[in-house]
Copies of this chain bind each other. A is one copy, B any other.
């Protein structure tokens, strides 16, 4: 069977980046189909009629939407570097923390950024991020996945590069080194993993994006 892999995405999206990192980790050859979000392709609308969003992975004609669903699918279909733990309990814990990042941490951090670092919003982001800081402290490991990155690290991609870019663009501080020493150490280690490094957009592009999107006139 032909193994045709396409990824519909936009550069600069942390959610698309999750899928790209998983593809790179597994050394999968794929075609990147660049979408214009102001004029979405007929394929994208057909593949993801519910959300009409990227990323969409299309494997031999079969579309899969939602970044974490895509990452789990990639891990299941392609052998090589594992992305989820093998042990059922550890796997459940990884899924739990990925969900915490999506449902609790990212919305709080987005809000802190969108508010230009308004005090209450930053306090709420800190409260959410403290759970991740504690988890890294308890694990005592380089990554959420231990010695190597896993689903949780990939879920937290936004925190590793995008937040720093937003801080630089807007002159705010959300993820301070002083308050979150483990998370900032994790962030440095994470962006320097080869598969991650190869997948990330240039930071200056993100800084420019945040200036345009959230910057004061």
Residue A89 contacts which of B65, B73, B91 (CB distance < 8 angstroms)?
B73
Q: Which candidate, A9-17, A25-33, A95-103, A190-198, is the interface stretch facing chain B?
A: A95-103
Residue A50 contacts which of B49, B66, B104 (CB distance < 8 angstroms)?
B104
Residues of B within 8 A of A104 (CB): 50
Stoichiometry (number of copies) = 2
Is A203 an interface position by the 8 A CB rule?
Answer: no
Given contacts A49-B131, A70-B92, A73-B89, 4 further A-B contacts (CB under 8 A): A66-B95, A69-B92, A72-B95, A76-B91
CA distance A64 to B90 in the complex (A): 10
Is A42 an interface position by the 8 A CB rule?
Answer: no
Does B50 lie within 8 Å of A62, measured CB to CB? Answer: no
Does B69 lie within 8 Å of A95, measured CB to CB? Answer: yes
Is A217 an interface position by the 8 A CB rule?
Answer: no
Q: Considering only CB atoms and an 8 Å cut-off, how many residues of chain A contact the other chain?
A: 24
Is A77 an interface position by the 8 A CB rule?
Answer: yes
Is A59 an interface position by the 8 A CB rule?
Answer: yes
CA distance A151 to B83 in the complex (A): 22
Is A2 an interface position by the 8 A CB rule?
Answer: no
B-facing mask of A74-110, CB < 8 A → 1, else 0? 0011000000000011011101100110001000000
- CB within 8 Å for A76 and B88 given contacts A50-B104, A50-B131, A104-B50: yes
Min Cβ gap A23→B in Å is: 15
Between A and B, 24 residue pairs with Cβ closer than 8 Å are A49-B131, A50-B100, A50-B104, A50-B131, A59-B89, A62-B89, A64-B89, A64-B92, A64-B96, A66-B95, A66-B96, A69-B92, A69-B95, A69-B96, A69-B99, A72-B92, A72-B95, A73-B89, A73-B91, A73-B92, A76-B88, A76-B91, A76-B92, A77-B88
